[in-house]
Structure 1
Amino acid sequence: MKLILAIAPDRFRDEELFVPQKACAEAGVETVIASTKTGTCEGMLGGAAEATVTFAEVAPETYDGIVIAGGIGSQDFLWGNNDLIGLVQAFAAEGKVVAAICLSPVVLARAGVLKGKKATVFNSPRSASEMKRGGATLTDDAVVVDGQVVTANGPFASEAFAAAVLSLLSP
C-alpha cells in the first residue's frame, strides 16, 4: 500500500500531516509527500516536511489513495491548484481512497467528488459555501466516511481521520 500525502508548501497544519504519516508507517503503508514544489514545506506550528514530488509529477496509478492535510495554507495554495484537483479526480475515478482534513475538503468539493456525499470541513463562511457549491451534504461530525471519501474537520480529528483512511485501505 502506498499513499500520497498532499500538503501546502507553507502553513500546512502539522498534526494533520504528521499524525496520519505516523499511523501509516505503523500500519506498513508507504507514504510520499507531495506539494506545489519540492523541498522543505513549513507547518503552521513550526514543523517541517520534505516534499519529494510535485502534484504534477504524481502518477495516480502507482498509489492507493491521496490524503490532503489542511491548515491555513490550504486555502492559499491548494484550493485552486489544478494539478491537485486533477489528481483528486483521477483517484476518485479509479475508486481509490480520497481524503482531506480541515480546510482541504474544499479541494474535493472543487474536484466534484463530493456531489451527493456527506462530508465535513473546518467550518468558515467561505469553506462551507465552497462545500455546498460542490454538492456536499455538510455534517458537524469530526470525521465522515462516505464510500471511499474521508473528510475531517480539523487537527483534533487527526487520529480518527488517520484510522478512517487506514480502515478503507484494509482488504
Structure 2
Amino acid sequence: MKSVLVPLASGSEELEAVTVLNILRRAGIEAVSASLDGHPIRGSRGTKLIPDTSLDEALKRRFDMVVLPGGQPGTNNLKADARIIRLVQRMAADDLFVCAVCAAPSVLAAAGLLDGKHATSFPGSLDAFPKVLRQPQAVVEDGKLITSRGPGTAMDFALTLVERLAGKAKRDEVEAGLVRT
C-alpha cells in the first residue's frame, strides 16, 4: 500500500489538509497526519485538528509522498522546522513525490527544490524565489514535484495525487464518488 505523510503545523489551512487526507484515504492510500510536536493544532481558521502521530514518530517510517498544506502561519511554521526541510530534501533526492499547496510551495523553494522548476502557489507566495518558473494552473507537476494554488484547488490537487500513486482508474473511481459536476 502506498503511504503519504501530511505534516501539520499550527496555522495550517484546514481545508487543504483535510481534503488531501480524505481523498487519499478514499483511494485506499495510507495517509498519515503528523503534527510538529504530536499535539492537536489549531488551523488557520481556528479549527482544531488532531494528528495521527508526531512528526518525530512519522520520520521513523518511509513514505512514498509528502504533502505540505499551506495556510498562515502554518507555512512559516513548517518552513522554520529543520526536520521538514531535511525531509523534503531527502525525499526529493530519493526521487519520491514532494507536494505542496497554497503558500507551502515556498517551503519547497526555501529548501532549494524549486530552482528552475515549474510550480504554482497562492499568489505572491513564491515572489521571493525568482528562480522558480511560476505557472498559473491550479495544479502543476514538474517530475515528482507537485504544487497547487490554494483551498479552492485542493480537491483537484488531491485527485492528482491519487492518480500519481494509484492510477487514473482509481482517480476516476474516487472522483465519481465525490459527485463533482
Whether these two folds match at TM > 0.5 is: yes
**Structure 2 residue identity aligned to 1:130:** A
CA-CA distance at 1:60 after TM superposition: 7.0
Instruction: Decide whether the 8 Å contact of 2:33 with 2:51 is kept in 1.
Output: yes
User: Which protein is bigger by CA-based radius of gyration?
Assistant: 2
1:99: Cα distance to partner? Answer: 0.5
Higher alpha-carbon deviation: 109-118 or 72-81:
72-81
Q: Show the counterpart of 1:5.
A: 6
Aligned-pair identity (%):
30
Mapping for residues 156-167 of structure 1, pairs under 5 Å: 156-167=152-163
Give the equivalent residue in structure 2 for 1:105: 105
The 1-side partners of 2:118 and 2:50 are apart by 32
**SS of match in other structure, 1:130:** coil
Distance (whole Å) between structure 2 residues aligned to residue 169 and residue 60 of structure 1: 21
Look up the match of 1:131: 129
Q: Which runs of 5+ in 1 are unaligned?
A: none
Q: Which residue of 1 aligns with 2:22?
A: 22
User: How far apart in 2 are the matches of 1:160 and 1:85?
Assistant: 25
- Tell me, which stretches of 5 or more residues in structure 2 are unaligned? 168-181
Asked if 2 retains the 8 angstrom alpha-carbon contact of 1:117 and 1:137, the reply is: yes
Offset of residue 56 of structure 1: 4.0
Distance 2:158 2:50 in 1: 20
Matched residue SS, 1:33: strand
Rounded to whole Å, the distance in 2 between the matches of 1:86 and 1:14 is 24
Give 1:61 deviation, angstroms: 5.5
Cα distance in 1 for partners of 2:128, 2:81 equals: 15
Tell me if the contact between 1:71 and 1:102 (Cα under 8 Å) persists in the aligned partners: yes
Give distance in 2, aligned partners of 1:60 and 1:68.
18
Aligned length: 166
CA offset digits 1:30-84 (Å, max 9, x no partner)? 1111222111111123322223444344337621110000101234311222110
Q: CA deviation at 1:163?
A: 1.1
> Between Structure 1 and Structure 2, which shows a larger proportion of strand residues?
1
Kindly state the Cα deviation for residue 146 of structure 1 after the two structures are TM-superposed.
1.0
Deviation at 1:166, TM superposition (A): 1.4
